[in-house]
Chains A and B, each alone.
Chain A
Amino acid sequence: MATGEPLLEVTDLVKHFPIKEGLLIDREVDQVRAVDGVSFSVARGQTLGLVGESGSGKSTVCRAMLQLLKPTAGSVRFEGEEIAGLSRRRLRPLRREMQMIFQDPYASLNPRKRVGQIVGDPLKLQGVASGGQLRTQVQELLERVGLSSEHYDRYPHEFSGGQRQRIGIARAVALKPKLVVADEPVSALDVSIQAQIINLLDDLQDELGLTYVFVAHDIGVVRHISDRVAVMHEGKIVEQGSADQVCEHPTDAYTKKLLAAVPIPDPRESRARRQGAASPS
């Protein structure tokens, strides 16, 4: 781990959802242990990749960490300050430091708002810019993420999936946050567009000194972008370490299973692997 105090430190984070039953009175009969004691920390300027299959709890970790969901237990320290359980009002000034990029570029942009408003709203709400200055700033942002300043007055439906994800990224970095949580930001995109978006995220990190928590089910993508990787399974982190260490020398059985299931885009390797699997040595 890098030196200095970590930007984000999550300790024993727990998020349980109640399962209720009953007609008149809801009795809690059981709980879904979506996140069951998760700890990790992220150093400034680094990327933590959170990888796991659907239902492993990775999205719930993000939401509970950002206090979009109230954690059942555990601590989340941001720049050394405890933020778990803070009131909405106390969280408000912190929101500009922590932003999120979502998976579905079709659902995460308000279809009735123009692009300029979508990207400019965070700046306006946090009182950073207004009027003509706001417009200039938003247009600069649009250009920075690979769109054009003329896109300011357009609506989301006029854009492709990749362009929409760029709009979502512009919105997330508008306030120059310290932490950006990206939840499956490329999984809805075509391969050739995926690489563009990953490279854009890489550039923005260098330029703005961003710290990322990058969530994905694709371990290849996670390995590429992350400094450290944490593998989640059934609400727990089963293994974490440097990206190369986890992907090349996994120690946990589940991590091994996950890695072995990733198809290799190399027919000879893939044939060799299948023969190896068919005849246990």
Chain B
Amino acid sequence: MSPQALLSVKDLRVGFATEGGLLQAVGGVSFDLAAGEVLAIVGESGSGKSVTAQTILGLTRSPNARIEGSVRLRDAELLDAGEDELRKVRGERIGMVFQDPMTSFNPVYRVGAQIVEAIRAHRHDVSSQAANDRAVELLDSVGIPDAERRVDDYPHEFSGGMRQRAMIAMALSLEPEVLIADEPTTALDVTIQAQILRLLEGLNRERNLATILITHDLGVVAEVADRVMVMYAGRVVEEGTLDEIFYDPQHPYTWGLLGSLTRLDRPRPARLPQISGAPPSLLAPPTGCAFRPRCPHEFGKCAELPALEARLADAPSHCDRCWLSPERKREKRQVAGQIGLEAPA
């Protein structure tokens, strides 16, 4: 990890005014991303992971949005950047890949033409022939077979995996420094998912691309991430290196996520450990720790919101928001010999 942060997010808060009041989608998120680093943001629907990523690119701006904090890309502040400035950042410095490869392309234009358009919108001096050659080269580099011919296909002629590859090719067409991938493999079959993950990993290594990977799948995280942020109800509840999060998780929500996985590498339990209840409404979140209503280890102090801070003497970059002492955590997270939230009912 280089000390030089490429992208720096500080106390990002995103709220949306709704008929039911202010919906606080992101409630103070901070992180630094260095070149060549893969940061995974993990969480469930409504945890604020996608809103965080979209706000970086100015995609959540709207009359009812309340956005505060700071997002710096090298020296440029993005939160108050004008649309013209942002347009230069999008694609050119930060590329984005969305979840659904079926709807991210315009169905009535050829795949190649859409990549050419992305290139020429930013590089006016590139001829359409040169841009087309570049599109072929890009499709080839992400593993589309027979790219020279396939560049003239329409999106519906591509399979889901090929569309996601083409989407990645498009996101890389202007050689951005940062790639944001929002659930890039969720809609894909596992065998295709494995290929896309290898592709992302290779790109990250070869181009020193800084990557934010948003996912709900801890298996995917284990395959590619360097660092992990776990989000719950708009806040980061735990953050650390890949190994810290998997082998020494500090927050009960992380225990719950790890415990409720159906794992092929372990004997199957009679019952699946679960996290009971449902995530809170962001219109009226509980006071104090947002996970409190679902946590079996809740105690008096939890009515007060714990800060996200390092609570382990030997791991300064491993932070969490839980009042339990590290010793108590180590003891409480042991459920039937594995890490989990509680024994299945």
Contact of A223 among B189, B191, B243, B264 (CB under 8 A): B264
Segment touching B, from A37-45, A74-82, A189-197? A189-197
Residue numbers in A under 8 Å from B274 (CB-CB): 192, 195-196, 199
Residue numbers in B under 8 Å from A261 (CB-CB): 190-191, 193-194
Segment touching A, from B66-74, B77-85, B254-262, B313-321? B254-262
Question: Which residue of chain A is the closest to B44 with respect to CB atoms?
Answer: A190
Any B CB within 8 A of the CB of A234: no
Contact of A53 among B45, B191, B220, B222 (CB under 8 A): B191
Segment touching B, from A57-65, A95-103, A264-272? A264-272
Contact of B275 among A54, A161, A195 (CB under 8 A): A195
Nearest-CB distance from A220 to chain B (Å)?
Answer: 4
Bound CA–CA A265/B268 (angstroms): 15
Bound CA–CA A224/B271 (angstroms): 9
Within 8 A of B (CB), among A201-249: 202, 217-221, 223-224, 243-244, 247
Bound CA–CA A265/B220 (angstroms): 7
Bound CA–CA A62/B108 (angstroms): 34
CB of B262 within 8 A of CB of A267, answer no
Contact with A along B240-276 (1 / 0, CB 8 A): 0011001100000000111011111100100111111
Any B CB within 8 A of the CB of A262: yes
CB of B222 within 8 A of CB of A263, answer yes
Nearest-CB distance from B271 to chain A (Å)?
Answer: 6
Within 8 A of A (CB), among B205-252: 216-223, 242-243, 246-247
CB of A265 within 8 A of CB of B218, answer yes
Bound CA–CA A160/B190 (angstroms): 26
Residue numbers in B under 8 Å from A85 (CB-CB): none
Sorting the interface of chain B by its residue count into under 10, 10 to 19, 20 to 34 or 35 or more gives 35 or more
Any A CB within 8 A of the CB of B336: no
Q: A192-B44, A193-B278, A195-B260 are in contact. Are A265 and B219 (CB under 8 A)?
A: yes
Any A CB within 8 A of the CB of B160: yes
Bound CA–CA A54/B189 (angstroms): 7
Q: A194-B260, A217-B189, A219-B264 are in contact. Are A263 and B220 (CB under 8 A)?
A: yes
Contact of B246 among A53, A192, A218, A265 (CB under 8 A): A265
CB of A190 within 8 A of CB of B45, answer yes
Bound CA–CA A145/B218 (angstroms): 28
Any B CB within 8 A of the CB of A198: yes
Contact of B216 among A190, A195, A198, A217 (CB under 8 A): A190
Any B CB within 8 A of the CB of A177: no
Nearest-CB distance from A255 to chain B (Å)?
Answer: 12
Bound CA–CA A221/B257 (angstroms): 15
Q: A53-B190, A190-B216 are in contact. Are A265 and B272 (CB under 8 A)?
A: no
Bound CA–CA A157/B24 (angstroms): 21
Residue numbers in A under 8 Å from B194 (CB-CB): 260-261, 263
Bound CA–CA A49/B35 (angstroms): 44
Any B CB within 8 A of the CB of A73: no
Nearest-CB distance from B345 to chain A (Å)?
Answer: 8
Any A CB within 8 A of the CB of B335: no
Bound CA–CA A9/B194 (angstroms): 35
CB of B265 within 8 A of CB of A266, answer yes
CB of A259 within 8 A of CB of B264, answer yes
Q: A54-B189, A217-B190 are in contact. Are A264 and B262 (CB under 8 A)?
A: no
Residue numbers in A under 8 Å from B44 (CB-CB): 190-193
Q: A190-B45, A258-B190 are in contact. Are A195 and B222 (CB under 8 A)?
A: no
Residue numbers in A under 8 Å from B243 (CB-CB): 267-268
Bound CA–CA A269/B260 (angstroms): 19
CB of B246 within 8 A of CB of A267, answer yes
Question: Which residue of chain B is the closest to A160 with respect to CB atoms?
Answer: B278
Any A CB within 8 A of the CB of B344: yes
Any A CB within 8 A of the CB of B113: no
Contact of A263 among B223, B268, B278 (CB under 8 A): B223
Question: Which residue of chain A is the closest to B42 with respect to CB atoms?
Answer: A191
Any B CB within 8 A of the CB of A257: yes
Nearest-CB distance from A263 to chain B (Å)?
Answer: 3
Residue numbers in B under 8 Å from A219 (CB-CB): 190, 264
Any A CB within 8 A of the CB of B6: no
Bound CA–CA A256/B59 (angstroms): 42
Bound CA–CA A244/B242 (angstroms): 29
Bound CA–CA A193/B218 (angstroms): 15
Contact of A267 among B242, B261, B275 (CB under 8 A): B242
Nearest-CB distance from A223 to chain B (Å)?
Answer: 6
Contact of A264 among B193, B219, B344 (CB under 8 A): B219
Within 8 A of B (CB), among A17-55: 53-54
Residue numbers in B under 8 Å from A198 (CB-CB): 262, 272
CB of B278 within 8 A of CB of A267, answer no
CB of B193 within 8 A of CB of A265, answer no
Any B CB within 8 A of the CB of A122: no
Any B CB within 8 A of the CB of A6: no
CB of B265 within 8 A of CB of A269, answer yes
B interface with A by C-beta (< 8 Å)? 44-45, 160, 189-191, 193-194, 197, 216-223, 242-243, 246-247, 256-258, 260-265, 268, 271-276, 278, 344
13 A-B pairs in the complex with CB atoms less than 8 angstroms apart:
A53-B189, A191-B261, A195-B274, A195-B275, A220-B262, A257-B191, A261-B190, A262-B190, A263-B194, A265-B258, A266-B222, A269-B222, A270-B223
The 10 A-B residue pairs with the shortest CB-CB distance, nearest first, are A263-B219, A220-B262, A195-B274, A195-B260, A53-B189, A192-B275, A190-B44, A261-B194, A261-B190, A265-B218
